């Protein structure tokens, strides 16, 4: 009888010990599991961050040709950035004057313009009639400011006025030009300047064709033609 009781007691103690052991192992493993989860979370984040960085930096492994040629790297990165889907084409910034003016020193203007362009754009000069590049010019496209690339006129609004200067009956966007009173001659004229860089373009007269009745008389040297897309 004593032996049975002793056996039962031993059995109960053993069960109790096992239960305690199991419960302790649960407690002991919990922090480890937490650590593992944290480690897993960290390990899954790192590659994601790394991937974003490599895209921005444009590592050599993305394009083997960059790794092969040292001097071509500089040229290739802008091409690649321009080609990213969703990027706005550079020409978009030249569509409409946003109010942000371009200011350059005289030295800068002299560096980027030809002497004739400087005389016309910055000193309000006028090219000789029938001498300009765009007087007798009928390609389809757009005309931009030679000083800052802002879009000013379209070929469909150009007409032959017979005056010897490129003539348009409509400006691309009213906000892209400023009209100033010009008293330099005995006849009071309306001067046209680029809204963004302040360059002199030409004059407006009211003897143009319908539908506007206006004649934008513009110096070729103040314009840069761009072929239509």
Return the number of the residue (66 or 177) whose C-beta is nearest Zn ion: 177
Q: Which of 145, 148, 194, 217 is catalytic?
A: 217
Cα separation, 178 vs 122, whole angstroms: 15
Q: Closer to Zn ion at the Cβ: 120 or 150?
A: 150
How many Cβ atoms are within 10 Å of 138's Cβ, its own excluded? 8
Estimate to the nearest angstrom the gap between the alpha carbon of 23 and the chain centroid: 63
Q: Which two tokens stand for residue 15?
A: 């069960």
C-beta of 66 vs 222, nearer to Zn ion: 222
Q: Which residues bind Zn ion (CB under 5 A)?
A: 145, 147-148, 150, 194, 196-197, 199
Q: How far is the CB of 66 from Zn ion (least distance, A)?
A: 36
Active site residue 145: no
- Written as one string, the DSSP assignment of 45-86 is HHHHHHHHHHHHHT-GGG-HHHHH-STHHHHHHHHHHHTSTT
- Least distance to Zn ion, CB of residue 119, Å: 16
CB of 145 to Zn ion, least distance (A): 3
Annotated active-site positions, please? 217
């Amino acid at each position: 009888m004593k032996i049975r009781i002793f056996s039962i007691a031993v059995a109960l103690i053993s069960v109790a010990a096992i239960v305690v052991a199991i419960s302790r192992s649960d407690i002991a493993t919990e922090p480890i599991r937490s650590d593992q989860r944290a480690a897993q979370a960290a390990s899954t984040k790192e590659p994601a961050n790394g991937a974003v960085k490599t895209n921005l930096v444009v590592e050599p492994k993305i394009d083997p040709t960059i790794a092969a040629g040292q001097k071509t790297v500089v040229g290739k990165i802008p091409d690649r950035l321009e080609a990213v889907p969703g990027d706005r084409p550079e020409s978009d910034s030249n569509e409409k004057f946003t109010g942000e003016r371009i200011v350059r020193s005289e030295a800068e203007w002299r560096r980027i313009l030809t002497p004739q362009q400087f005389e016309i754009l910055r000193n309000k000069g006028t090219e000789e009639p029938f001498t300009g590049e765009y007087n007798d010019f009928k390609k389809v496209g757009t005309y931009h400011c030679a000083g800052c690339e802002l879009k000013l006129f379209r070929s469909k609004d150009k007409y032959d006025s017979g005056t010897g200067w490129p003539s348009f009956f409509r400006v691309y966007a009213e906000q892209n030009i400023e009209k100033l009173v010009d008293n330099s001659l005995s006849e009071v004229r309306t001067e046209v300047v680029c809204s963004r860089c302040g360059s002199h373009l030409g004059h407006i007269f009211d003897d143009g064709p319908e539908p506007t009745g206006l004649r934008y008389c513009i110096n070729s040297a103040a314009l840069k033609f761009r072929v239509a897309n």
